[in-house]
Amino acid sequence: MSQPPSKQEEISVEIASLAAGGSCVGSITAPEELSGKKAFIPFTIPGELVTATVNRSKRSYVEASLVSIARQSPHRCAPACPAFGSCGGCDLQHINLPEQRKLKAQMVEDLLRIHGGIEAQDGVSLLAADLPGLSYRRRMSFHINKKGEFGLYRKHGRSIVELTHCPISTDTINSFLEQNISLIKGCAPEVETVTVEDHDGIPHLALEIHPKNLTGAESLLTKEAFRELERRIPQLQVNFRHKAVYRAAGVASDGPPVGHFSQNNKLANDAMIEFILQHVQTESVTDLFAGAGNISIPLAEGAHIVTAVELDPALVAFGQTRAEAADVANRLTFHVSGCEKWIQNYVPAETVVLDPPRSGALEVCQRLSSEVSPYVVYVSCYPPTFARDVQALSERGYYLKSVSVLDMFPQTYHSELVALLEKA
């Protein structure tokens, strides 16, 4: 059990590497009694020598806050956002973009090798390393409190950093914020979360009612601020406990389901799909955790026969609409099902694509067979569960051929992995 120090002790730390969570980690060089102990310190860069104060001490490491930099990294740069450091959205704006990507790739490689005992035959490489680092997010979820304060949560706690512009969001989202911020604030206190999505340059909006406010939707719909917002943004819906309770007239029944999963970075997503298309060689493919056909539809367009499995019926319905529009519905079959249940009752194709949430796909991996499906493409947004699942796949007769790190989330420690596994 961790205990806070009796006073904020100053330490000197040699920063070594980027760590999961957004801090960098290094070894304490002073005071002598802590020498060699690990310290996790946000807003630092590998290669720097820094002074920090200890916030929390555990047996093998401490968590600390940066005080000063004795030796500065040449990769340190000015953050693009004035809220960086207080806002919880970004971790790495103080590091130039090429270095961010090198550090992420190294972090993934170290995590797999040191913590998972896993090494890819062809190693870990960067994919699409020239992608932009700003104006890329096409879905943002903002928060609003009873006072009408609007923005993103701070790094610690649930207080709000107010903002009207976010440098990592697309121009469509930022333009929406700048023009409608007063109306959004007028939707307090009924609304708790405001999700804005950019679909081909058109803002789509979902307002989430506070989960404890049973009559929140009724009172919200009578507000002049809400009615004006609906006039400006016809692609608007109101949700309660993440289920739509009101849809504006402009919300198309076959349109994108706002607030449901979709890849956030279009250019990075395009690069990922291109990479996958280059490496899928079999005619038949099973796409598990398929969403709205993000990978399935391009595969079908490439003449593959695809079975797509997805639990969320709203995503499946939108995927079927997109498949018909792309004229590939005859090559793409959707199943509304949990992937864990589906794989108990069906035989997957020769190539299996996995794109699970952060929790991974352990139960699915434990049921795959390299004799039946000799090729697996695993897309992961969370390296720890990916490492766990690769270990399970190795027990099913697979080996890890390669891992490509895609910077789907610049300015944060998060990244996307695209791994190729084959029958051993």
pLDDT at residue 270 in the model: 98
pLDDT at residue 28 in the model: 98
pLDDT at residue 1 in the model: 44
Average pLDDT value for residue range 79-84: 97
pLDDT at residue 60 in the model: 92
pLDDT over 70 (residue 4): no
pLDDT at residue 7 in the model: 63
Reported as a pLDDT band with limits 50, 70 and 90, residue 242 is confident
Average pLDDT value for residue range 42-46: 98
pLDDT at residue 250 in the model: 85
Give the chain's mean pLDDT.
95
Domains of the chain plus CATH, in order, are 10-71 (2.40.50.140), 101-131+263-423 (3.40.50.150), 139-247 (2.40.50.1070)
Looking at per-residue confidence, does 239 or 242 come out higher? 239
pTM above 0.95, yes or no: no
**3-class SS string, the chain:** CCECCCCCCEEEEEEEEECCCCCEEEEEEECHHHCCCEEEECCCCCCCEEEEEEEEECCCEEEEEEEEEEECCCCECCCCCCCECCECCCCCCCECHHHHHHHHHHHHHHHHHHHCCCCCCCCEEEECCCCCCCCCECEEEEEECCCCCEEEEECCCCCEEECCCCCCECHHHHHHHHHHHHHHHCCCCCEEEEEEEEECCEEEEEEEECCCCCCHHHHHHCCHHHHHHHHHCCCEEEEECCEEEEECCCCCCCCCCCCCCCCCEHHHHHHHHHHHHHHCCCCEEEEECCCCCCCHHHHHHCCCEEEEEECCHHHHHHHHHHHHHCCCCCCEEEEECCHHHHHHHCCCCCEEEECCCCCCCHHHHCCCCCCCCCEEEEEECCHHHHHHHHHHHHCCCEEEEEEEEECCCCCCCCCEEEEEEEEC
pLDDT over 80 (residue 5): no
Encode pLDDT of 259-298 as tens digits.
Answer: 888 899 999 999 999 999 999 999 999 999 999 999 999 9
Average pLDDT value for residue range 5-11: 75
Average pLDDT value for residue range 46-65: 96
Encode pLDDT of 291-344 as tens digits.
Answer: 999 999 999 999 999 999 999 999 999 999 999 999 999 999 999 999 999 999
- Paired residues of 419 in beta bridges: 378, 403
Encode pLDDT of 199-234 as tens digits.
Answer: 999 999 999 999 999 999 999 999 999 999 999 999
Encode pLDDT of 393-416 as tens digits.
Answer: 999 999 999 999 999 999 999 999
